Chain A
Amino acid sequence: MSPALSPEARDALYRECALAITAVGREREPLFLARLALLLMEAVGDEARCREAIEAAARELPVPSLSR
């Protein structure tokens, strides 16, 4: 396991990711997120953990009601 994020780092990254999504705008949002996924998979470097993350992200995925 890689080291867990500190609460401060988690908060900061959450915020930076939100700002980046807003900054790229709706049109480029999917491509931005896909690039982020690819880069993070390379950074994690662990096939099983990446697969778990893909499955977890798709699990119980609702139709957006808070972020339309």
Chain B
Amino acid sequence: MDPIGPFVHTEHSAVPPALEAGRDPVRHRVAIAGGGPVGLALALALAKWDVASVILEADTTVCVGSRAICISRRSLEILGELGALDAHLARGLPWEGGRTFHRTDEILRFGMPQDALQRLPPMINLQQYWIEHNLVEAAAAHPGLIDIRWGSELVGVEADDDGVSLTVRCAGAGAEHAMRADWLVACDGGQSFVRRSMGLKLEGTAFEGKYVIVDITLPSAYPAERRAWFDPPSNPGSTVLMHKQPDDLWRLDYQIPDDADLEAELRPERVGPFVQRHLDMIGEGHLPWEIVWISAYRAGAMSLDRYRHGRILFAGNAAHAMPIFGVRGLNSGFDDAHNLGWKLASVVRGLGGDALLDSYDTERRHAYRVNAASAIQSTEFMAPPSRGFSLMREAAITLAHRHASIAQLANPRQTLPIGYPDSPLSTASDPAAGGPAPGDPPREAPLRGPQGATHLSALLGSAWTVLAFVAPQAARLDPALDGLLGALERGPLPLRTLEVVATGEPTRAGHRIRAVDDATAEGRVAATRWGALDGAVVLLRPDGHVAGRWRRPDPATLGAALDAARGLCAEAVR
């Protein structure tokens, strides 16, 4: 593989750990199978809680092809928490929407949720090798907490009640070695070894459609957005997608007929003319271009029926497969890692109950179902699985340019943050007008913080947050609540209080931050977006999701909700 643009694949040496009688003598807290984006994100999330992990990665470099290239705003928030945001923003291409064509007519222009008060773009495009590279760099900031073992392939797994015994084949050593960990998280992708070795299977909906993915270098100045063509005159009957990546790299996706020979279709002499005809159609056929990567995929929405098996947990593609449309593969993997990180860390450190790990399973399987429903809807439109879908799609596409509502059927339904309405960690709450309910992800708002202009999403992460909307005239919290929060802030649990005030000065003292709400013509932004009246208190989990919210909670209510969200007494609260 020739280098593409400025990226250079660093070859990491496969060094086996110091062994004693063929064993790694260290009893590890957490072993992570797979050093892809999900495994790396999980290791970073654990490191934020001072929990050490060892990553077993079979390869000696980050991935070779561009693979997953779209990173959602929610994923960027997560990357921010993990210390990898700047590297992604510096190189990634932000975009906000796209357009869809029937033949050469534009039938839909769509936008992803965006407004001037956001910190982050709704999506950026960046090659997966850059994403992995950035995460490896971020991991280097945690020496002693993240041990990436390159060239180390997991070849044996055996779990018991108090840990997992692993067999590892290290490329740098002649023999296999054994190791032991308290927990194993399988982040080893679609072909997960852990999954197969346990005899587990993904179940769900598989689609017939076969797709070719091609990356080409193309010096095109066209901006980053998602473009889709149905039945383009250049390749009649086909559906083509096009995305811009950094370094003058462009991604084309197109479906090939079900009965086509996939291997033949992947040859450059087949792909090349297809691409040339497409570029000719969009007026860029005169530009010099070159194929750099060709791959294929089949769509399927499939999942394990449990993501927790005792001391083994599954995340990312090892746990579920998602159709590519709507970019839910990598992004749901980041969500998995983010959801699991604080829970596993809490259990390892004795800061939360074992029920937290069951809640990972409940919440992320719920997210899978939501993701799968959208992705299936998208896939059925992009690649109709039967005569009825073909006919209805053609009806919709041919009416879309005159009927805006019908055009929405062609909307790619890009990934959005997903709430956990039935989370076992949530506590009965007061209703909030328009604000996030228990289980919902956090809402963005600009704030004036102690270090100047900031955003709410930048102040959250890796700790519990009590978000308190303080009345201007009160200028301080209710004394009883204040006492509890003070004690919690000084306690063993990572917890901060974020007071949001309408007026006054931002301050920081210990784990207490006071930030000033942004007042616009429509009112106070944070209070409005959170549906919060003065005195309202929202308990946010370390992943930013709402655990509970109250108009004016007494300390006992807040304390009980915190215990429930820590998985300490989930049954009693439900």
The tally of residues in B whose CB lies under 8 Å from a CB in A reads 10
Q: Does B503 contact A (CB under 8 A)?
A: no
Q: Mark B399-417, 1 if CB is under 8 A from A, else 0.
A: 1000101100000000000
Q: Tell me whether A35 is interfacial, beta carbon within 8 Å.
A: yes
Interface window among B168-176, B224-232, B274-282, B387-395: B387-395
Closest CB in chain A relative to B499 CB, distance in Å: 44
B162 to chain A, nearest CB (A): 52
Contact indicator B403/A31 (Cβ below 8 Å): no
B167 close to A (CB within 8 Å): no
With a CB–CB cut-off of 8 A, which chain A residues contact B406?
Answer: 38-39, 42
Q: Is A37 an interface residue (CB 8 A)?
A: yes
Cβ A31 vs Cβ B391 within 8 A: yes
With a cutoff of 8 Å between Cβ atoms, the chain B residues found around residue A30 in the complex are 391
| A-side contacts of B405, CB under 8 Å | 42
Whether the Cβ atoms of A38 and B391 lie closer than 8 Å is no
CA separation between A11 and B538, bound complex, in Å? 61
With contact pairs A30-B391, A31-B391, A34-B392 given, residues A39 and B398 touching in the complex (Cβ less than 8 Å): no
Q: Which of B392, B395, B405 has the most chain A CB within a 10 Å cutoff?
A: B395
Q: Least Cβ distance of B492 to chain A in Å?
A: 51
| Minimal beta-carbon separation of A61 from chain B (angstroms) | 14
Q: Which residue on chain B has the smallest CB distance to residue A37?
A: B395
A30: nearest chain-B partner, CB-CB: B391
Residues of the A chain whose Cβ atoms lie less than 8 Å from the Cβ of B392: 34, 37-38
Residues of B within 8 A of A39 (CB): 399, 403, 406
Number of interface residues of A (CB under 8 A): 8
- In the complex the two chains form, what is the Cα distance from A39 to B400 in whole Å? 11
Q: Mark A56-68, 1 if CB is under 8 A from B, else 0.
A: 0000000000000
Q: Is the CB of A42 within 8 A of B403?
A: yes
Judge whether B396 is part of the interface by a CB distance below 8 angstroms: yes
CB distance from A45 to the nearest CB of B (A): 9
Give every chain B residue within 8 A of A35 (Cβ-Cβ). 395, 398-399
Distance, CA A34 to CA B395, complexed state (A): 6
Q: Are A34 and B394 in contact (CB under 8 A)?
A: yes
Q: How far is the CA of A35 from the CA of B391 in the complex (A)?
A: 9
CA distance A54 to B432 in the complex (A): 38
Residue on B nearest A45 in the bound complex, by CB: B405
**How long is the Cα–Cα vector from A30 to B395 in the complex, in angstroms?**
9
A38 to chain B: closest residue by CB: B395
CB-CB contacts below 8 Å: A27-45 with B: 30-31, 34-35, 37-39, 42
Task: Indicate with 1 or 0, residue by residue over A1-42, a CB within 8 angstroms of chain B CB atoms.
Answer: 000000000000000000000000000001100110111001
B400 CB to nearest A CB, Å: 10
Q: Which residue of A lies closest to B393 (CB)?
A: A34
List residues of chain B with CB within 8 A of the CB of A34.
391-392, 394-395
Minimal Cβ-Cβ distance residue in A for B409: A38
A37 to B395 Cα, complex, angstroms: 9
Q: Which residue in chain B gives the minimum CB-CB distance to A34? A: B395
Give CA–CA (A42, B405) in the complex, Å. Answer: 8
Chain B residues near A38 (CB-CB < 8 A): 392, 395-396, 399, 406
CB distance from B218 to the nearest CB of A (A): 35
A57 to chain B, nearest CB (A): 13
A37 to chain B, nearest CB (A): 7
Please name all residues of chain A whose beta carbon is closer than 8 Å to the beta carbon of B403 when the two chains form the complex: 39, 42
Give A41 Cβ to nearest chain B Cβ, in Å.
9
Question: From A42, which residue of chain B is reached at the shortest CB distance?
Answer: B405
Interface centre among A31, A34, A39, A42 (most CB of B within 10 A): A34
**Which chain A residues border B396 with CB–CB below 8 Å?**
38
- C-alpha gap A30/B406 in the complex (Å): 18
- Name the distance in Å between B278's Cβ and chain A's nearest Cβ: 26
Measured in the bound complex, the distance between the Cα atoms of B392 and A44 in whole Å is 18
Distance in angstroms from A4 CB to nearest chain B CB is: 25
Report the Cα distance A67→B455, complex, angstroms.
Answer: 66
A30–B392 Cα distance when bound, in Å, is 9
Distance, CA A46 to CA B395, complexed state (A): 20
What chain A residues lie within 8 Å of B398 (beta carbons)? 31, 35
CB distance from B12 to the nearest CB of A (A): 54
Contacts of A37 in B (CB 8 A): 392, 395
Q: Which residues of B contact A31 (CB under 8 A)?
A: 391, 394-395, 398
For the complex, give the distance between the alpha carbons of A35 and B401 in Å.
Answer: 13
B388 closest partner in A (C-beta): A34
- Who on chain A is nearest to B396 by CB? A38
Considering only CB atoms, which chain B residue lies closest to A41 in the complex?
B406
Question: What are 17 inter-chain pairs, A to B, with CB distance below 8 A?
Answer: A30-B391, A31-B391, A31-B395, A31-B398, A34-B391, A35-B395, A35-B398, A37-B392, A38-B395, A38-B396, A38-B399, A38-B406, A39-B399, A39-B403, A39-B406, A42-B403, A42-B405
Q: Which residues of A contact B (CB under 8 A)?
A: 30-31, 34-35, 37-39, 42
Other A-B pairs, 13, CB within 8 Å; known A38-B396, A42-B405: A30-B391, A31-B391, A31-B394, A34-B391, A34-B394, A34-B395, A35-B395, A35-B399, A37-B395, A38-B395, A38-B406, A39-B403, A42-B406
Of all A-B residue pairs in the complex, the 7 with the closest CB atoms, nearest first, are: A34-B395, A35-B395, A34-B391, A38-B395, A42-B405, A34-B392, A30-B391
